[in-house]
A and B are shown apart, each in its own frame.
Chain A
Amino acid sequence: MYTTVIGLEVHVQLATKSKLFCGCSTAYGAEPNTQTCPVCIGMPGSLPVMNEEAVALAIETGLALNLQIAKFTKWDRKQYFYPDLPKGYQISQYDLPITHDGWLEIEDPKGAFEPKKIRILRAHLEEDAGKSLHDESAGKGDTLIDLNRTGTPLLEIVSEPDLRSSAEAKAYLTELRLLLTYLGVSDCNMQEGSLRVDANVNLHIPSDAAANDDNAQDGKIATPIVEIKNMNSFRAVERAIDYEADRQYREWKETGRRLGQSPKQTRGWDDAAGVTRAQRSKEESSDYRYFPDPDLAPVVISAEVVAKVRERLIELPADLRKRLVADYGLSLYDADVIVNQGRPTVDYYLTVADGSGDAKSSANWLTQDVLRTLKNRELAIEEFSIPAERLSNFVKKIGAGELPSARGREVFELMADDGLEVDAAMDKLGIAQVDDSEIESLCQELLDANPKVVADVQGGKQQAIGALIGQAKKKNPNIDPGKFRATCLALIAKG
């Protein structure tokens, strides 16, 4: 039917200790207006001074997103009146952003869409505004302003309209967030406003009218672009896009209005009601009167600076996934699960796999038992009671047959509960290795006592051995069922 066309603008708070143009702290959650100074509250006469670390973090992100790093960039003022904007303008970057023209690859391990590169138009630095707190408790309707956040460095990452579904949009955001947290350039905490998303959405609808429409492509006409704001979770982004696509289709059928026939509209997402709502046309019409900030010198970024930042660039999620598939033989699905947990989990996995020499089994224990335990206990991997070296020994023991895999889970749980080494846990559970002669004598004893089973096996029904396994385990819980079965069959064959 129609194609949904989506471009995302993501605002990311950079993890600098101080603000973009002054020395104030960027820590979250302080008492209102305690992290301010004459500069960030725009006091008359105050002047901004650029934070070099914010520039370095922007370059680092740019390199990870395959963006071009500008050799020359500058600061511009974006002017508008708003109570939480103390200077009456925001210092941002307009025509010469610090980075431009790159891409991020998205891939769905479940195959819901083909892997694709989403082009990124630009990522530029800007300062954040403050926060308006509406105090209606006393029935006064007062608005109070908290300027702690004012001047916090943001990186605005603007994608091209390359996304075609809410699922792709979510995958893009997930991958972007993962990459940024891997780099450590942002904590991407949406509750604290460290990551905020606006979505530009419209539809391409096959129509006969396309023949005489300048904006039409491939026989499809485009609906007017809508910018959706105020989404505070990835789930909300998905829902808002799906809602908006449906709404635009209905509107198009009703009005036939196309791109170019009405200005870009801004709509807010009402999460509780599950709808987007038009904002007043006055609120959206804007002439920001951008011009270069005369208080800040343009920034020349030398090749040396870029090289220095490149040195601190670490292995990115996409590369890690490829390495886990190619060098560790994992499925893309498993690799994705591990990498998406974040770098500490990847490091944990690499230690377990390298130490045990069994990459696949290490992945199974990690993605199933470890992650489930962490989830139940609401722990981070760094807090887990089985360190990677210990799990590595555990996996190794199972692989070597020194620990019967059937009792592996018991041992694992004891290790997790009591923080024991694998040997200690096995001792505590009384798991001892049973030697071959002991197995053989137990087989002989049970075969002698069950001639029917022997006869059934000889008649071709090998599964009849199953009836003896329960008895064998009762006599010796450490018996490995596989080994027991194989030994019994060998004895019967010998006669």
Chain B
Amino acid sequence: MTLVEQSAADLLKQLAAGELTSRELTQAYLDQIEQHDARVGAFLRVNAEAALKQADTIDRRRGAGEQIGVLGGLPVAVKDLLCQTGEPTTCASRMLEDFRPPYDSTVVAKLKAADAVLLGRTNMDEFAMGGSTENSAFQPTRNPWDLERSPGGSSGGAAACVAAGMAPLSIGTDTGGSIRQPSAFCGVVGMKPTYGRVSRYGLVAFASSLDQAGPISGTVADTALLLQAIAGHDPRDSTSLNAPTPDYTADVDKPLEGLRLGVVKEHFGEGLDPEVDSAVRAAIAAYEAQGAKIVELSLPHSRFAVATYYVIAPCEASSNLARYDGAHYGRRTEERAMLASLQAERKAAQEAGDADALDNIDTALVRMYRQSRSEAIGPEVKRRIMLGAYALSAGYYDAYYLKALKVRRLIRQDFDQAFEKVDMIVGPTTAGPANKLGEFADDPLGMYLLDLYTVSANLAGLPAMSLPCGATKSGMPIGLQLHAPPLEESRLLRAARMFEQSGVWKSKRCAL
């Protein structure tokens, strides 16, 4: 088995034993990227020099007998949405093409403190809006299992790089399923922790009340390892939970006794791909075989989840993205040309004696905002900003935003009631396998439905994860999704590990 096919946990053992240096390992991944990423497009930027330098430092420190952090020299890829000092943090948007944060996000700071080697920045849908990573302003990412297909989104680059053996571990963010859905499409393990478990400080906001960073990796144990490194309370994030961080890595191999598993009837309705249906049912049977009790449940408000999500997320996005105004951040339109055209418009209106038109021409400031945003923001992001601005505007607020908040509470209540009866909920991550690239080019609503099974966890703030549980006849991965009550990441990981060990499905890296 080559280095890049091994699990992070195995590599860490070799690093700790001195059988492998971080430099050798980092170089192996850099080679893999060099060889394959031109076709996959998972990375927006790879800083080989900085990564190798960091690896050397860790090797030297280990050689000197110093204490090394929990990630002990393992390479980690980071979604291009988490601020890193001095590194471009573009959110795959032209707007932030030249943005170099003067500070580290808490996640990046924790990765550095855990002695991870920061490999590079992964591609995503612009500002994390989209379900296919085709909405990146710079490049699409392709699914390593089938280059004609999408890797999912918005953390498509983060999932694809792990699937393609270009990084053992990567950080994604999940606002409506953006870690779990691409993990399912790429056949890797991905977790959205409880809202507030991982700090949002330095995570460029899409929808603040839903965004959550989380780990993506090849195995459940590796997911536990990466979560261990990034979880914890952060006083700089008021929404961060002040709860102790359990030892995920120590607990992950302990099976759960007398597990009560909830199966939600709404997850198996119309629209579910038959191959996904049978793979998920096989997974449920594997749990049953290990002594789990299966309980049929209903989450009656889950059918409103996508609609609710597509009111709340755009509302918050319209506000969070207002700062990209051309005055303070990101791209400003070419002012000289803008002022000249403004003057020409004024002159034309004056000559035509059209007072109304004259009155309607922007001031220079308004035109600067309008034109800068218009030029630098992509169509999907614009669509959501407009949706949000509309839903928050006077006269519509109660009907949309406030109503959505009420439904959001009902969705959470459904889960609270369900978790009185079961320890965990199990079902599909997505309704089908990865779609073809370009499939949703003219069908934004179709793309929104990709989030059908994943958005509820974000609306309810629950931890949830996706792990591979099968493949279609054509060889595309199928994901199994687990939901747990708040702060029960440990339970999720242990249950996921139980499935992994059942032998029903052996996940593998794809061959490129």
Give the interface of A toward B (CB within 8 A). 38, 41-50, 77, 79, 81, 83, 86-89, 145, 287, 289-291, 294-297
Contacts and interface: CB of A to CB of B under 8 A. Distances in A.
A88 B325 contact: yes
Interface in B173-230: 200-205, 207-209
B365 A295 contact: no
A284 B402 CA distance: 26
A137 to B, nearest CB: 19
A45 B105 contact: yes
B304 interface: no
Contact of A44 (B99, B369, B392): B99
Nearest to B91: A44
B101 A49 contact: no
B328 A45 contact: no
Contacts of B369: 81
Nearest to B104: A45
B238 A47 contact: yes
Contacts of A42: 323, 328
Given A38-B102, A43-B101, A44-B329, A295 B239 contact: yes
A289 B103 contact: no
A89 B208 contact: no
B201 A50 contact: no
Contact of A45 (B205, B209, B366): B205
Contacts of B392: 79, 289-291
B482 interface: no
B202 A46 contact: yes
Contact of B236 (A43, A49, A89, A296): A49
Interface stretch (B265-273, B314-322, B345-353, B490-498): B314-322
A79 B204 CA distance: 19
B interface SS class? loop
B204 A294 contact: no
Interface in B95-133: 96, 99, 101-103, 105
A81 B318 CA distance: 12
B237 interface: yes
Interface footprint category on B: 35 or more
25 contacts: A43-B102, A44-B91, A44-B99, A44-B323, A45-B202, A45-B205, A46-B201, A47-B236, A47-B238, A48-B238, A49-B238, A50-B238, A77-B319, A81-B325, A83-B365, A86-B323, A88-B319, A145-B327, A289-B318, A289-B319, A289-B397, A291-B392, A294-B209, A295-B205, A295-B208
B389 interface: yes
Contacts of A287: 393-394
B176 to A, nearest CB: 15
A79 B201 contact: no
Contacts of B83: 44-45
Contacts of B365: 83
The 9 nearest A-B residue pairs measured at CB? A88-B322, A294-B209, A294-B208, A289-B392, A45-B202, A44-B204, A45-B83, A45-B204, A88-B323
B317 to A, nearest CB: 11
A448 B366 CA distance: 98
A43 B236 CA distance: 14
B308 interface: no
A79 B202 CA distance: 22
Given A44-B91, A79-B319, 13 more contacts: A45-B204, A47-B238, A49-B237, A83-B365, A86-B323, A86-B328, A87-B322, A87-B323, A88-B321, A145-B327, A287-B393, A291-B401, A295-B238
B315 to A, nearest CB: 6
Nearest to A38: B103
A89 to B, nearest CB: 6
A45 B233 CA distance: 17
Interface string B238-249: 110000000000
A144 B268 CA distance: 58
A295 B200 CA distance: 9
B9 to A, nearest CB: 30
Given A83-B327, A145-B327, A287-B393, A45 B101 contact: yes
B235 interface: yes
Contacts of A43: 101-103, 329
B319 A89 contact: yes
B401 to A, nearest CB: 6
A42 B320 CA distance: 10
A87 B328 CA distance: 9
A215 B408 CA distance: 41
B33 interface: no
B89 interface: yes
Interface in B327-373: 327-329, 365-366, 369
B454 to A, nearest CB: 19
B82 interface: yes
Contacts of B105: 45
Nearest to B234: A47
B395 to A, nearest CB: 9
Contacts of B393: 287, 289
Contacts of A291: 315, 319, 392, 397, 401
Pick from A86, A295, A296 the residue with the most CB of B within 10 Å. Answer: A295
A38 B203 CA distance: 12
A47 B238 CA distance: 8
A77 B236 CA distance: 19
A47 B105 CA distance: 11
B448 to A, nearest CB: 21
B239 A89 contact: no
A296 B240 CA distance: 10
Nearest to B392: A289
Contacts of A297: 238-239
Contacts of B103: 38, 43, 46
Contacts of B235: 49
A145 B322 CA distance: 17
Nearest to A50: B238
A112 B472 CA distance: 89
B382 to A, nearest CB: 15
A369 B147 CA distance: 92
Contacts of A89: 319, 322
Given A87-B323, A287-B393, A289-B389, A47 B315 contact: no
B237 A47 contact: yes
B238 A44 contact: no
A11 to B, nearest CB: 22
Nearest to B360: A282
A44 B101 contact: yes
B201 A45 contact: yes
A331 B480 CA distance: 84
Contacts of A41: 328
A79 B237 contact: no
A211 B389 CA distance: 42
A46 B89 CA distance: 13
Contacts of B205: 44-45, 295
Nearest to B105: A45
A287 B321 CA distance: 17
A45 B328 CA distance: 14
A167 to B, nearest CB: 37
A145 B327 CA distance: 9
A87 B327 CA distance: 11
A182 to B, nearest CB: 33
Contacts of B318: 289
A59 B142 CA distance: 56
B89 to A, nearest CB: 7
A83 to B, nearest CB: 5
A81 B101 contact: no
Nearest to A87: B323
A59 to B, nearest CB: 19
A289 B321 CA distance: 14
Contacts of B323: 42, 44, 86-88
A168 B435 CA distance: 71
B230 to A, nearest CB: 15
A89 B325 CA distance: 12
A45 B319 contact: no
A89 B316 CA distance: 12
A414 B103 CA distance: 63
